[in-house]
């Protein structure tokens, strides 16, 4: 999320927020969460870990109940959040300065600098204000530079101003959080959200830029229910002029039920609709303020033209710190066409399976993850591409969009302030030609190739059917934590990337960097050009 977390808590560690006022929310950052994540996922914690950001009071309870977490960590959290020193206003810097060298097809020096701040104010026991902001200047590694040129944005961090010699971009977030009732929280702001247990989410990830939103969170007994209303942007054809961005809106519902101490079941639904244009303005449709789950699918059957999606999720805990999880996302499908296996273009589904383990093999501080994602062609797109599942030129779910499958493996080892991290991702992706084979979520289904007997080709759409590319992305990092509240580290990193296209030569990259890195916002460096905006 670049610097957007308006609803998110400041850069102080998720834990810091954890200990702050009950209305506080922690930042959506796996790196900030890392020291405390095992307490959240621990069997019996009761936290709905698929819904991020986390409520700070819930996080503190979960950490306090975990006997294996060091007590010093809790005291540090309380100090950061003003719990021990009584501070109702807190702030801190967000700084980055690192440089590196890339070898491969395009070698050269690369660098990144950024500066910003976070601030958090407790306005009362039930009201909290948070603001953070950050700006960056980058000379990006080639594969990210290619993406910026193709889409006009830097991944999750804003519109890319300038040119490859120096891109400048910025992001900010803020939120006002109010505990309106013992069981209900209202939060209005600008930022990001994440629904899912995985590194990826097929529902809603923090891949794209920040956005304005209203969030209503209801928690009662073993159930947590989130209503999320947001405004998104389609930047195509605007030339970077914010006043010309096409507006669209989303209404999302996420219902999470801790059916057993070790079993969670969840339902997700989303609808995306365009704000219209000058001749036919529409704006925000107040009908979608209805907080009832499955309201939208009912309307969809009545013929509404908006883009509706439906998802199911489950996770099960084994032992004390191991979690198995799954997601299934449906855009469109017919059971008959799924059964016949002919690859009907409108069978739009996505699947995820994974396992997440803390204190793996009994080793304190060791975290391991394995995950598989599968996304069919044409998933997340729509006949009116203004209503596709994207924001600011990036997908709202998986960064590769559709027509892809991916296997990934992660490992983290935390020893005091030292953090050692390895990320590996192997993806198989389909391609487009003059016609669409379901790769580009910014193309409508009517761009399919013609059928020899007339009309458009309706069948034989499978992952990678028209040319398959493979992408291997591996990153290894070693860092010493300067400020746990923002996951700011002195860090050395190495990235190996190998793209084998369906046509043409293989592209291989080695990228080394060293310096001060800030992980207050999750970054997703595994990227590849899947479409070009004209």
- pLDDT value at position 207? 92
Q: Can you give the pLDDT at residue 146?
A: 93
Give me the pLDDT at residue 286, please: 78
* 494 belongs to a structural domain: yes
User: Given this model, what pLDDT does residue 20 score?
Assistant: 40
Answer for the pair 17, 40: CB distance below 8 angstroms, yes or no.
no
Residue with tokens 């060298």: 101
pLDDT at 413: 97
Q: What is the CA radius of gyration of the chain?
A: 22
Helix axis angle for 56-65 and 71-80, nearest 10°, is: 160
Query: Lowest-confidence range among 9-18, 42-51, 103-112, 242-251?
Result: 9-18
DSSP 8-state secondary structure symbol assigned to residue 38: H
**Mean per-residue pLDDT of the chain:** 87
Tell the burial category of 341 from Cβ atoms under 10 Å away from its Cβ (0-12, 13-18, 19+). Answer: exposed
DSSP secondary structure of 278-342: SSSB----GGGG---TTHHHHHHHTT--SEEEEEEEEEEEETTTEEEEEEEEEEE--HHHHHHTS
Judged by average pLDDT, the poorest of 176-180, 237-241, 312-316, 372-376 is 237-241
Residues 389-401: tens digit of each pLDDT: 999 999 999 999 9
Whether 310 contacts 300, CB under 8 Å: no
Tell me the torsion sign for CA atoms 24, 210, 298, 331.
negative
Check whether 243 has a pLDDT greater than 90.
no
What pLDDT score does 467 carry?
86
**Neighbour tally for 50: CB within 10 Å:** 24
- 53 upstream amide cis, omega within 30 of 0: yes
Q: Whose CA is closest to 204, among 455, 28, 424?
A: 28
Residue 66 confidence class, pLDDT cut points 50, 70, 90 = confident
pLDDT recorded at residue 362: 92
**How far apart (Å, rounded) are the C-alpha atoms in residues 257 and 262?**
11
pLDDT score, position 6: 31
pLDDT of residue 287: 75
CA 126: distance to chain centroid? 28
pLDDT at 327 over 80: yes
pLDDT, residue 82, reads: 55
DSSP state of 105: S
Q: Which of 10, 151, 36 is nearest to 93 (CA)?
A: 10
Q: How many domains does the chain have?
A: 1
DSSP string across 431-482: ---SS--S--TTS-GGGSPBPTTSSB--S---TTSS-EEEEEEEEEEEEEEE
The whole domain housing 108 covers 14-518
Residue 179 has pLDDT above 50, yes or no: yes
Tell me whether residue 110 is in a domain. Answer: yes
Query: Tens digits of per-residue pLDDT, 13-55?
Result: 333 333 344 567 888 999 988 888 888 999 988 999 999 998 8
Residues 270-280 as b or e (16 or more Cβ within 10 Å = b): bbbbbbeeeee
Residue-wise pLDDT tens digits, 365-377 = 999 999 999 999 9
Distance from C-alpha of 214 to C-alpha of 150, rounded to nearest angstrom: 31
- Please check whether residue 1 lies inside any domain of the structure: no
pLDDT of 5 higher than 50: no
| 3, part of any domain | no
Q: What CA–CA distance (Å, rounded) separates 42 from 353?
A: 19
Q: 439: domain CATH number? A: 2.40.160.130
Question: Considering the domain boundaries, does residue 111 fall inside one?
Answer: yes
CA dist 527 and 534 (Å) reads 20
pLDDT value of residue 397: 97
> Structure tokens of 216?
């209503």
Residue 204 DSSP class: B
Give the separation between CA 424 and CA 473, rounded to whole angstroms.
Answer: 6
> Confidence class of residue 299 from pLDDT cuts 50, 70 and 90?
low
In a domain, 193, yes or no: yes
Assigned domain for 527 exists: no
Give the per-residue pLDDT at 13: 36
Average pLDDT over residues 271-294: 76
If you average pLDDT over residues 52-63, what whole number do you get?
81
pTM: 0.91
> What tokens were used for 122?
């407790």
Does the structure show a pLDDT above 80 at 86?
Answer: no
User: Is the pLDDT assigned to residue 297 strictly greater than 70?
Assistant: no
Contacts of 71 (CB under 8 A, 6+ apart): none
Least confident segment among 216-220, 280-284, 286-290, 469-473 = 280-284
Confidence category of residue 8, pLDDT binned at 50, 70, 90? very low
DSSP lists the bridge partners of residue 471 as 427, 499
| Beta carbons of 185 and 23 less than 8 angstroms apart | yes
Q: Mean pLDDT, to the nearest integer, of 79-94? A: 72
The tokens for 117 are 């701040």
Tokens matching residue 424: 């590996």
pLDDT band at residue 59, thresholds of 50, 70 and 90?
confident
DSSP letters of 8-31? S--SS-HHHHHHS-TT-B--S-HH
Q: What is the DSSP letter of 77?
A: H
Query: Is the pLDDT at 313 greater than 60, yes or no?
Result: yes
pLDDT at 275: 82
Dist. CA 21–CA 82, nearest whole Å: 9
Instruction: Report whether 228 contacts 203 (CB < 8 A).
Output: no
Residue 524 lies in a domain: no
């Amino acid at each position: 999320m670049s610097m957007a977390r308006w609803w998110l808590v400041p850069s102080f560690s998720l834990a810091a927020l954890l200990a702050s006022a009950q209305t506080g929310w922690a930042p959506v950052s796996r790196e900030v969460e890392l020291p405390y994540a095992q307490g959240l996922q621990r069997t019996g914690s009761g936290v709905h870990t698929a819904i991020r950001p986390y409520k700070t009071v819930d996080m503190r309870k979960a950490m306090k109940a975990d006997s294996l977490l060091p007590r010093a960590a809790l005291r540090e959290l309380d100090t950061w959040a003003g719990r021990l020193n009584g501070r109702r206003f807190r702030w801190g810097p967000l700084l980055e300065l690192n440089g590196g060298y890339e070898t491969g097809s395009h070698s050269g020096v690369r660098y990144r600098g950024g500066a910003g701040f976070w601030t958090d104010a407790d306005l009362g026991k039930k009201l909290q204000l948070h603001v953070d902001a950050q700006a960056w200047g980058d000379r990006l590694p080639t594969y990210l530079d290619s993406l910026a040129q193709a889409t006009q944005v830097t991944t999750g961090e804003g519109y890319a101003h300038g040119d490859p010699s120096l891109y400048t971009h910025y992001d900010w977030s803020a939120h006002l959080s109010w505990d309106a009732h013992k069981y209900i929280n209202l939060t209005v702001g600008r930022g990001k959200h994440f629904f899912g247990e995985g590194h990826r989410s097929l529902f809603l990830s923090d891949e794209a830029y920040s956005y304005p939103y209203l969030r209503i969170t209801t928690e009662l007994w073993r159930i947590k229910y989130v209503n999320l209303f947001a405004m998104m942007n389609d930047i195509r054809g605007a030339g970077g002029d914010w006043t010309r961005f096409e507006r669209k809106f989303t209404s999302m519902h996420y219902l999470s039920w801790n059916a057993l101490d070790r079993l969670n079941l969840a339902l997700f639904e989303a609808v995306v609709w365009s704000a219209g244009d000058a001749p036919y303005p529409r704006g925000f449709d107040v009908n979608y303020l209805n907080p009832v789950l499955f309201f939208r699918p009912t309307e969809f059957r009545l013929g509404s033209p908006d883009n509706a999606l439906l998802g199911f999720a489950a996770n099960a805990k084994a032992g004390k710190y191991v979690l198995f999880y799954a997601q299934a996302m449906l855009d469109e499908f017919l059971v008959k066409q799924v059964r016949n296996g002919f690859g009907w273009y409108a069978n739009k589904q996505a699947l995820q399976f994974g396992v997440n383990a803390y204190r793996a093999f009994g080793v304190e501080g060791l975290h391991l993850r394995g995950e598989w994602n599968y996304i069919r062609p044409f998933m997340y797109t729509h006949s009116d591409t203004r209503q596709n599942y994207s924001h600011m030129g990036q997908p709202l779910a998986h960064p590769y969009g559709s027509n892809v499958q991916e296997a990934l493996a992660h490992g983290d080892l935390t020893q005091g302030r030292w953090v050692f991290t390895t990320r590996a991702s192997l993806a198989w992706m389909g391609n487009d030609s003059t016609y669409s084979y379901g790769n580009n979520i910014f193309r409508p289904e009517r761009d399919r190739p013609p059928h020899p007997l007339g009309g458009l080709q309706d069948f034989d759409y499978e992952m990678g059917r028209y040319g398959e590319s493979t992408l291997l992305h591996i990153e290894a990092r070693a860092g010493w934590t300067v400020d746990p509240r923002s996951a700011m580290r002195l860090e050395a990193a190495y990235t190996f990337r190998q793209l084998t296209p369906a046509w043409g030569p293989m592209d291989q990259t080695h990228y080394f960097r060293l310096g001060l890195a800030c992980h207050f916002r999750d970054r997703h460096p595994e990227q590849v050009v899947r479409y070009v905006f004209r």
